[in-house]
Amino acid sequence: MPIAVQLPKGQTLGPPDAPVKLLLSEWSSLARLRTGQMGALAGEFVEGKLNLEGRMRDVMATVAGLLPANPVLSDNGWWHNVLGRARTMGLHTLKKDASQVQFHYDVSDDFYALWLDPRRVYSCAYYRDEAMSLAEAQDAKLDHICRKLILQPGERFLDIGAGWGALLLWAAEHYGVDATGITLSKNQHAHVQRLIEKKGLQSRVRVELLDYRHMDESRPFDKISSVGMLEHVGQANLERYFNKVLSLLMPGGLALNHGITAGGADNRQLGAGMGDFIEKYIFPGGELVHVSRLLEHMARAGLEVVDAENLRPHYARTLWEWSDALEAQLGTAHEVLAADGGDERAEKTLRAYRLYLAGSAMSFEKGWLALHQVLATRPSDSPSAYPFRRDYMYL
């Protein structure tokens, strides 16, 4: 896609009617553009050192054309990926994990409400029918998970990383389970507490501000879900994490992990690229692994994988829905963010999220990232809850 570039002294290169225009204030940005240093340019955009004109969909199509190599086939990726073990362990202490989660999820509830669905489901939707709206597809995703887990009335259900409570409440209201959710986000915890009280579900739904490592193992759960949590665990901690899931799960019970996976088997941290942009502005401490490594970690922990589904195209559509919704109300979004952190911080946050949502949408479209739902059971001498046929999970 053609691009126009306005140089620091005002001269414009490229077609005047190009759908994307890049306005530079420093000459160094031109060198980064020529060498495909998209992550560095993204940081300069957030810091206000350059500006963009054009639809984010067009911007991302242009970015894809400027990359020097396919991120999946090279060591360059769009996410802070496979790090050395020593650094990884240092990124995921109890204290750091709490602060990193709060950095992202406690930006502003009102800001997220502008572009998420009414239930504030901040994970990949499931477009069971292509005509579905985002809200309908998110409801379908919640039900898809509950059906995969074969939730039954009275079962003890744990949601690790409960977000704004959508799955926790859906499972309780539609499947009659006794539901427990945990989160490290103070804003989300308070929001879910309010919803539980509003719905009068205090007797069988609860949410705790708690790290998964501190969960009591003395009363295992029948079913466990983890949605959008894997990305925060850290590669070096994955076996420990799944060992904890195993300990929290009844023998024969089912656990479902829904999380982003790397598109390439050997993607590494991008260095000066988009990985550093994500690390600095969006998800500090975030890491991905390829689905093959995910399955290996689950197996090493003693879980038996019984089903895996890739929802990559669904996440591309979800992210574009979020991106379009944010782009449609940038002024309101700035006001909401400024109310909490002032104009300068609001502008940086808004610019970062505009790139993050659109860039992620493109990455899922291209197959540079994937989204896998992996269903597993804790092996037992008694029969597993998992049936002989997988069509039970589809309407």
Give the count of domains, the chain: 2
Tell me what the mean pLDDT of segment 177-189 comes to: 95
The domain that contains 118 carries what CATH number?
Answer: 3.40.50.150
**pLDDT for 270:** 32
Percentage of residues in the chain with pLDDT exceeding 70?
89
**pLDDT in the model for residue 272:** 32
Asked whether residue 120 falls in the same domain as residue 204, the answer is yes
Does 90 lie in the same domain as 57? no
In a domain, 52, yes or no: yes
User: Which pLDDT belongs to residue 77?
Assistant: 43
pLDDT at 347: 93
**Residue 77 falls within a domain, yes or no?**
no
Let me know if 261 is exposed, middle or buried by CB neighbors in 10 A (0-12, 13-18, 19+): buried
Mean pLDDT score of the chain, rounded to an integer? 88
Torsion of CA 328, 168, 261, 235, to 10 degrees: 120
Query: Hey, which residues does 261 pair with through a beta bridge?
Result: 370
Q: Is residue 307 part of a domain?
A: yes
Residue 189: what pLDDT? 95
| Residue 76 within any structural domain of the chain | no
Q: Is the confidence at residue 20, as pLDDT, over 70? A: yes
One domain for residues 195 and 48 = no
pLDDT at 315: 98
Residues 287, 240 share a domain? yes
pLDDT at 108: 86
Residues 271, 325: Cα–Cα separation, whole Å? 31
pLDDT at 274 over 70: no
Higher pLDDT, 46 or 89: 46
In the prediction, which pLDDT does 160 show? 98
Same domain, 102 and 49: no
β partners of residue 12: 6
Q: Are 172 and 276 in the same domain? A: yes
- 110 and 61 assigned to the same domain: no
Task: Give yes or no: residues 166 and 284 share one domain.
Answer: yes
Residue 80: pLDDT band with limits 50, 70, 90? very low
| Residue range 322-343, pLDDT digits in tens | 999 999 999 999 999 999 888 9
What residues have CB less than 8 Å from 319, skipping those under 6 apart? 357, 358, 360, 361, 364
- Please determine, for residue 90, whether its predicted confidence score (pLDDT) is greater than 60: no
User: Can you give the residue range of the structural domain that contains 61?
Assistant: 3-66
Same domain, 172 and 293: yes
- Least confident segment among 94-98, 252-256, 281-285: 94-98
Least confidently predicted of 26-40, 233-247, 310-324, 350-364: 26-40
Q: Which of 370, 101, 72 is nearest to 234 (CA)?
A: 101
Are residues 249 and 178 part of one domain? yes
User: For residue 99, what pLDDT band results from cuts at 50, 70 and 90?
Assistant: low
Q: Which residues contact 196 (CB under 8 A, 6 or more apart)?
A: 165, 169, 202, 205, 206, 207
Per-residue pLDDT reduced to its tens digit, 124-172 = 999 999 999 999 999 999 999 999 999 999 999 999 999 999 999 999 9
In the chain, the N- to C-terminal Cα span, in Å, equals 41
Q: Is 50 in the same domain as 168?
A: no
More confident: 258 or 96: 258
**344 vs 170, residue with greater confidence:** 170
Asked whether the predicted pLDDT for residue 273 surpasses 50, the reply is no
Residue 85 has pLDDT above 50, yes or no: no
Kindly report the CA angle at 86 between 82 and 88, in degrees rounded to 5? Answer: 45
Q: Name the percent of the chain lying above pLDDT 90.
A: 68
